[in-house]
A = this chain, B = another copy of it.
Amino acid sequence: MPSKSAVVTVDEIRKHASADSLWLVVDNKVWDMTEFAPEHPGGTSILLRYAGKDATKPYNEIHAPSLISETLSPSKLKGTLDQSSVDPEWTKPPPEETKQLQLGKKPPLHTLLNAFDFERVGSETINPKAWAYFSSAATDLITLDANRNAYNRIWFRPRVFRNVRKCDTRTKILGCESSLPLMISPAAMAKVVHPDGEKVLARAAASQGIIQAISTNASYSVTDIVPSAPAGHPFVFQLYVNKDRAKTESLLRIVESLGVKAIFVTVDAHVIGKREADERIKADDSLSPPMSGTKNTDDKKGGGLARTTGAFIDESFEWEDLAWLRRVTKLPLVVKGIQGAADAKMAMRWGVDGIVVSNHGGRSLDTTPASVLVLLELQKNCPEVFDKMEVFVDGGIRRGTDILKALCLGARAVGMGRTFLYALNYGQEGVEHFVDIMRDELETSMRLLGITDLSQCHPGLLNTGDVDHLIPSLEEEHPYAKWRPKAVL
């Protein structure tokens, strides 16, 4: 058995190609996955497909570089690959990986006029597995659709005949200047769309003067991403708390050392929602049938990328743990994933610096309310939260008019996630072009609404009559909410 600093030949590795002894190579490191394989959130069979082989490419497509060392004990590292032993067979990709992006099919960037154009092009040209991961949402996509459609059911009440020559879209986000009330939401796996992934988003954010939120699951580490932008350009960091809290603490020390401005801690994804488009890609894979005679226990919970990347998240993390978090970082804290007035008030009581009203882009629990309607719920039941904290919102935003509506309902800024990944499909120029589009749409909408800076936004500029019946009262005022079941066990 080789020592951890040993070099291992491809012939040796090839011997460990079964469930009984399962080795993989990732980034030239040789790992023993035999014990881990049955617990792999993405299922055992994908590991078996690469057993005794180099899995660097598929691993990097969907995992952060550090995940493997965070997940496996150091004893599982068998050594580094003996480069001199590599033969042609070793470097041959498996047949299903030869499908290439048909980048030549993309229409010229200047013909893309809006967010939907980027989505359409993305659906046709992005790697199907990645597309399934990005575009999918929980089960029947009802919240996904509602996020979008709710904006279309909120109407403006424009004021006309006003001097709108000047128009100022600037704001401040947690003390940092932003040229637009628009952030890049944290998202994983940008690398599948563009080889430089989140680093490109960072460069474009800096050139456009907007703020990027970096995901714990980003395909590059925060240490790579932050320096991509000019020194001093502000970033925020999205945090999933690790079951091993020590790992989170050391991650936060790195984040702070990079000058990141705030922590967005996600609280609505303690378990990963059932995203069937993502899981179907795996389930339909005729190249990885369950081992004959063995019951494939992966099947019931699917094995899409989402569940793969979410396995380390601490599902016991709760409000009381904010005390610990406050202790281990002095950065401003924003709680991401608030879906109603009760938890917004909870956040206010805990004294956090902000909240993100979010349902994870419809990816967590289906039939949770459209996020913009939650803003309305806060205006109805606890408008004081908007004065005590900065409130952000994401989910369903595609137009400048959407941004404007969210701001009229009290949001300081909005986040967009998927569309930035689709814009990344055209590189930095694509992301910048997309921000230009959103800026033009927001400016045009402000002027046509009769306002010239964002402090003039307020609910009276909107007519919410089409959705008011969907806005709940506080739970304690709910007419049918008094009944409680008796415990039966």
Contact = CB atoms under 8 A, between A and B. Distances in A.
Given A161-B343, A163-B316, A164-B270, 10 more contacts: A113-B283, A158-B368, A160-B338, A160-B343, A161-B318, A171-B489, A271-B447, A365-B449, A383-B483, A460-B481
Given A140-B152, A366-B401, A470-B463, A273 B444 contact: yes
Interface stretch (A28-36, A126-134, A471-479): A471-479
A426 to B, nearest CB: 12
A299 B114 CA distance: 11
B410 A485 contact: yes
B283 A483 contact: no
Interface stretch (A216-224, A252-260, A417-425, A435-443): A435-443
Interface residues of A, number: 120
A246 interface: no
A159 interface: yes
A290 B429 CA distance: 15
A445 to B, nearest CB: 6
Contacts of A463: 369, 470, 472
A487 B276 contact: no
Contacts of A270: 160, 162, 164, 447-448
A364 B271 contact: no
Interface stretch (A14-22, A191-199, A231-239, A451-459): A451-459
Contacts of A342: 157, 159
Nearest to A276: B113
A481 B466 contact: no
A464 interface: yes
Chain B CB within 10 Å — which of A163, A455, A483 has the most?
A: A483
A139 B447 contact: no
Interface in A238-284: 267-268, 270-274, 276, 279-280, 283-284
A99 interface: no
